[in-house]
């Protein structure tokens, strides 16, 4: 039996654009009270300003949401970003900022909502990871690493909170047409890597610009959140499901070789 979202309180981070906005709109269409949590206000949904990389900001926002609505039924951790370039030339501070957003931002949100979900006897958390968590993509190492860390966090959390009636699912989209492509921070070029890094980034951008619409990912997120027993992971996009399946059965050396040919 599918869950009814009418009157439920759903918090979506990064709901001002892309996957987050499409997800929020789909929940709203199903009758949910959608709360957008982002650094800027949204005129489409009830909105609370917060920076997920700031623990105090997150705590204040979640406390305000609970004070207003009295409960919190679902959290979609969608806020994220990316950087590209050779590992050798990466600014460690930039890599730390990416992890602060993609991993620790989700962690802060999880820690903020769990007491309320536990007190009310249940809830659902959907963490938006990426197919890049399954494939260590050359010249996008820190994005892959941060999303892999988020996937691992989700797997462990799922077991920890199951006795409280709290469900956890990880959604792994493939390439999606959003403003993520334009907002990706590009690292410094290095002659030692020739044109390889530039070609890799161009390939990423081409795949993203020709990718699936964010609404397809939104449908998968809402469907997963509404399941009585959501799967541990959901890969979005038929060809990406095939890629992930092959990655799990092919020798690691062959997978690395193919990725090197595609992006290296």
**Residues designated catalytic:** 143, 147
Beta partners for residue 167, in sequence order: 124
Degrees to nearest 5, angle at CA 237 with 232 and 241: 60
Contacts 24+ apart (CB under 8 A), 99-103: 99/142, 99/145, 99/146, 99/149, 100/53, 101/52, 101/53, 101/146, 102/143, 102/146, 102/147, 102/149, 102/150, 103/146, 103/149, 103/150, 103/153
């Amino acid at each position: 039996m599918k869950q009814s979202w009418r009157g439920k309180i759903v918090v979506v981070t990064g709901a001002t654009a892309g996957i987050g906005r499409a997800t929020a709109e789909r929940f709203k269409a199903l009758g949910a009270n959608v709360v957008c949590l982002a650094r800027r206000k949204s005129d489409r949904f009830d909105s609370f300003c917060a920076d997920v990389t700031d623990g105090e900001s997150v705590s204040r926002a979640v406390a305000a949401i609970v004070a207003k609505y009295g409960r919190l039924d679902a959290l979609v951790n969608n806020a994220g970003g990316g950087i590209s370039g050779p590992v050798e030339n990466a600014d460690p501070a930039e890599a730390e900022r990416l992890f602060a957003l993609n991993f620790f931002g989700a962690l802060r949100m999880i820690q903020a909502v769990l007491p309320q979900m536990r007190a009310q006897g249940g809830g659902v958390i959907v963490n938006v990871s990426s197919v890049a968590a399954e494939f260590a993509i050359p010249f996008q190492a820190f994005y892959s690493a941060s999303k892999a860390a988020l996937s691992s966090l989700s797997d462990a959390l799922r077991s920890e909170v199951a006795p409280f009636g709290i469900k956890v699912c990880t959604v792994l989209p493939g390439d999606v047409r959003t403003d993520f492509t334009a907002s990706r921070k590009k690292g410094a070029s290095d002659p030692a890597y020739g044109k390889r890094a530039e070609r890799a980034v161009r390939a990423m951008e081409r795949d993203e610009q020709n990718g699936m619409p964010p609404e397809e990912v939104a449908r998968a997120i809402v469907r997963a959140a509404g399941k009585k027993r959501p799967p541990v992971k959901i890969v979005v996009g038929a060809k990406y499901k095939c890629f992930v399946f092959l990655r799990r059965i092919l020798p690691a050396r062959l997978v690395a070789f193919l990725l090197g040919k595609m992006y290296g």
